[in-house]
Amino acid sequence: PLRYISKYREFVKHEAVKNKSQWKTMGPAKVAVPSPNDFLQKHSKEPKLAPKKKEEDGKKLLPLSVPQRTYRPVIRIKKNFINKNAVAVIRGVPKKPRPFCVDTRQGDKYPLETSGLVPKYIKKKNYGVTPKYVTRRNEEIKREEEEYEARVLEQLKKKAMKTLSDEERTNILKALKNNWEEINHAYQGLPVLTDTRYKKIHKEELELKLRQLEHDIAAIEKHKNIYIADV
């Protein structure tokens, strides 16, 4: 029997050749070989300076500056640093030893100044002095309290109670009694039989007004001095 051949064989070959690079498996493509005449010469890669021009754009170059006759150069004196250091050590004040604190038997020590055991804080000049911001805040609080008390006193003066004069007391008492007589007259004119809801409610209202007027009249007659508050 004949061997099976796929109908997509040519298409697969074409795709394989199409996607394959020239130097994918065999190295880079062939390039032109450099000429033997283009060899590296000596000092060929060193930077070349531009030729020195005596005149530029028709202008002469400025002459070099020459020191004058009166110029005296500064002469540096060589110092003997060994003798200088020796004199500084001899005349210098000896350094005081730094105090240390030893806290273990093995001799472990640490500086005493930064340990917190030295009372540095209480030796300050401003120790125990009240800070300025605290004094300023206390003054502001005191001033606010004084202003608040002044406002309260002013409001109390405005709301102070006034004494009722004898004439006003007599007029009020007379008006209350007249009002009581009018309501009592209306109360006496009510029918004996209260068979409806309206009659019952009207009777209760008159009785309530009479009791209130009797209470007010008794209170005014009982007290001679009456005070009224302006609310």
Where residue 67 falls among pLDDT bands split at 50, 70, 90? confident
Structure tokens at 69: 């006759």
Number of neighbours of residue 16 by Cβ within 10 angstroms = 9
pLDDT digits (tens, 9 = 90+) for 151-183: 988 887 777 777 778 888 889 899 999 999 999
pLDDT at 21 over 90: no
Domain ranges in the chain are 98-160, 162-228
CA atoms within 13 A on the CB side of 58: 0
What phi and psi values does residue 212 have, to the nearest 5 degrees? Answer: -65, -40
Residue among 173, 185, 186, 169 nearest 214 (CA): 173
